[in-house]
Copies of this chain bind each other. A is one copy, B any other.
Amino acid sequence: MLRVVRIGLIGLGTVGQAVVQLARSFAATTFQIERVVVRDHQKVRPDGLSVTSDPRDVLEDPAIDIVVEAAGGREPARQWILEALANGKSVVTANKEVMAYHGPELLAASRTHRSYLGYEAAIGGGIPIVDSLRYHFTSASVHQVYGVLNGTTNYLLCAMARGRSLQHALVEAQRLGFAEADPTADIQGLDTGRKLVLLIHLAFGIWTDPDRLTVQGLEEWPSSLLSRLDSEGLGLRLLAVARRGNDDRITAQVRPTVVPKASPLMGLQGAQNGVGIITAAGHFWMQGPGAGGLPTATSIWADIRRARDIDMTEAAPPDELRAEPDPVLMPVWSIAVDPDRKINDANRSDEGVIAFPRFDPPA
């Protein structure tokens, strides 16, 4: 007999509701959602959910094994995660912001308390990229990770390629639920940058400050520019790239990039995400729905299963699974952000096309 694993869920928005929905469809016997923390505990809830508005009812309850943080933002999420880990609970989070800004502190707490910390849902929605980098792709040395990591901007770029203005496409995306009420972090590339910080850590074992990463986002480019790209068999993607150079320095960037239509990057339609990983063993590619309730909840449930199964007493802590912890073997890398090619009036030509770098993923 397997023991029942008891889950405390913080947040019942789109993601939290999908976590509950998946629990009902498959997990009733060995997993139980014990309590849900909501802002307003008077609102009507799905049957059978025990709700509270006090996070301590989850963080301090010894009956709860795993805390799922689906609230978002830096604070108080950081405090909640630290407290849950200190209380010996596993933590599963979908929160890329808190992981990108506080990942070193949070993963150190996971090591100290031997409590599992999973953040599969923080990058690429339903794509299993975090665990694949932790356990799999890093078995052979990673040379490069690249991809489209933000569903909102990819949706907007697809609409702009069909002739929509950025402003018009944004209104449409908000109406359809593909863009937040405040889409600034998405459109400016900040969200993509946070996810790239997490990928750099997973692939290369180093942390960089999200605010040190130069990112460029979408602009209201003239539609003639996008149609000219199209007529030349090209398209535009908001591309994140991190690459290890011959000198073991890591260069990283987030910016609008011209991509041949034949590339899998251009095959990403709407809110899809895609990640390429180039290792000594070859070139891998994964794509799928990069946002939304069910895809994100799929990743959360994968982490819940891992939290149950990974033995933190014996195992290497998650932070170090990707590489051996011997510091002698670990080269000292530094981040050198490529600052050139910033699109501005000075280097934008009349056609505007040459301002974009071009990316051809190796075959």
Contact = CB atoms under 8 A, between A and B. Distances in A.
A281 B297 contact: yes
A131 B136 contact: yes
B302 A135 contact: yes
A140 B316 contact: no
Given A264-B267, A281-B295, A284-B286, A306 B29 contact: no
B302 A309 contact: no
Contacts of A283: 288-289
B294 A321 contact: no
Nearest to A305: B135
Contact of A126 (B26, B135, B282, B324): B282
A247 interface: no
A139 interface: yes
Nearest to A300: B139
A27 B324 contact: yes
A357 interface: no
Contacts of A306: 135
* Identical copies of this chain, number: 2
A302 to B, nearest CB: 4
A305 B310 CA distance: 11
A23 B361 CA distance: 28
A26 B321 CA distance: 12
B298 A281 contact: yes
Interface in A289-348: 289, 292, 294-295, 297-299, 301-302, 305-306, 308-311, 314-316, 321, 323-326, 329
Contacts of A28: 324, 326, 329
Interface of A: 2-3, 22, 25-30, 120, 126-128, 131-132, 135-137, 139-141, 262, 264, 267, 269, 279-289, 292, 294-295, 297-299, 301-302, 305-306, 308-311, 314-316, 321, 323-326, 329, 363
